[in-house]
Structure 1
């Protein structure tokens, strides 16, 4: 059984559903252990693995947070936090769901003037509202689409998803005393991600293909320069989820991109369907 572990949710507690499986279901570590045909026990840290390493080992090495233990009968009281940077203060709350964001963290940025126009819905909720039966397209057709309001919203959704899960891939700059070739590449990814965000906010992408080309470069960099096996696999999982979201929101019938497959120089060429 496979799934993606969300580190920010794991930090909330061992009874919080923090593992999302390939079919979209969420599990606590102990539930995931049981669903994987292991007898449910208190030893999920030793039985659940990521990149061949047990979660216990990854926690001991500081690659994963050690979650606090909360009683199932005790409700976890957690202050409001931004869905992107996970910090609090001066947040905008979505009136449709329970998410909170800093104005600059959200895509598109939330207006800084208060009071905020109500009701306000985040990009995730706006995508749900706009979803419906849509015409299927080949990937080359999607990449050639002019960046209109609908395409802009979809690209903002895709990028916001990455920002919300950026702790699963090397997208953050490392501490100064840890600089290395890999560290510099991680900083390159971080700066490229922010550049993509800036280009989206300033409407600089003429079409979807240019946006997708830049996004795929980030994952190509991660595969090429991340030597940590566990983090490498997390990045691969995040890449696959990004590509699946791309196909879903743009209703493209193109096959899922395999890790290592390059995109055309302009990002607009039709790829042969298998």
Structure 2
């Protein structure tokens, strides 16, 4: 074989900058990844020191009252309580509905309502329905923000009153959108409520 045709030298790596982590860029990226678990918006967030999720003061139920120091969300506050509940005898719904709204029951209702707010399909039910009252005489409107206000003001004196208002939202929806495909949204979210209600209060 001839002496020509030498193999080409591999490309030189000289002068190439090595990618080094940029602390400022990493910090900015972390800041930008923070968003409220309920509404998805950023800025002025409080983080749970246990699960590390973020909430706005008014998005969390009940509203965040701490300014500094340790704070835990209602999901983490009730975790042990629900775990202990699993070993107890299953209650009937009629028994649960008769409960007075003591602090422990209030906390469970807050957990249930916050779970609903965190579900994307529940957003349709947050604000007052826009249906014309004249088309539905005698119908009592209900929506999530109204229930949230009543719960924060401790206006519910029993679990039954809270559950009745929640169910009223989906009962009304089935009337507003009777024989309409949009009725499925109320069925889906109403089913989520019933499933979560049983998990928190019964299991």
Same fold, judged at TM 0.5 (above) = yes
Which of these two proteins has the greater Rg computed from alpha carbons?
Answer: 2
Q: 1:141 to 1:226 in 2, by over 3 A?
A: same
Aligned equivalent of 1:152: 106
Q: 2:154 aligns with which of 186, 193, 203?
A: 203
Which runs of 5 or more residues in structure 2 are unaligned? 1-28
Distance in 2 of aligned mates of 1:221 and 1:109: 28
Q: Contact 2:98 / 2:160 at 8 angstroms: preserved in 1?
A: yes
1:234 equivalent to 2:176? Answer no
Q: CA distance change for structure 1 residues 85 and 169 in 2, over 3 Å: closer, same or farther?
A: closer
Q: How does 1:1-274 map to 2 (within 5 A)?
A: 79-111=33-65, 114-115=67-68, 117-118=69-70, 120-131=71-82, 132=84, 133-165=87-119, 167-168=121-122, 170-173=124-127, 181=132, 188-189=141-142, 192-226=143-177, 229=181, 231-251=182-202
**TM-score after normalising by structure 2:** 0.70
The separation in 1 between residues aligned to 2:174 and 2:56, in whole angstroms, is 30
Distance 1:142 1:207 in 2: 9
Distance in 1, Cα, partners of 2:127 & 2:102: 32
**Aligned alpha-carbon RMSD (Å):** 2.7
For residues 173-208 of structure 1, give each alpha carbon's deviation from its aligned partner in whole angstroms, at most 9, with x where no partner exists. 59xxxx6649x99xx54xx32221111111111110
Structure 2 match to 1:33 = none
CA separation in 1, counterparts of 2:55 and 2:163?
24
**Which residue number corresponds to residue 12 of structure 2?**
none
Cα deviation digits, residues 86-122 of structure 1 (max 9, x gap)? 11110111111132111111111101x522x31x211
TM-score (normalised: structure 1): 0.53
Ranges of 4+ aligned residues in structure 1 off by more than 6 Å: none
Higher relative contact order (CA 8 A, sep 6+): 2
Counterpart contact for 1:134–1:251, Cα < 8 Å: no
Query: How far apart are 1:134 and its partner, in Å?
Result: 2.7
> Kindly tell me: are residues 168 and 194 of structure 1, through their superposed partners in 2, closer, same or farther at Cα, counting changes over 3 Å?
closer
Normalized per residue, the structure richer in helix is 2
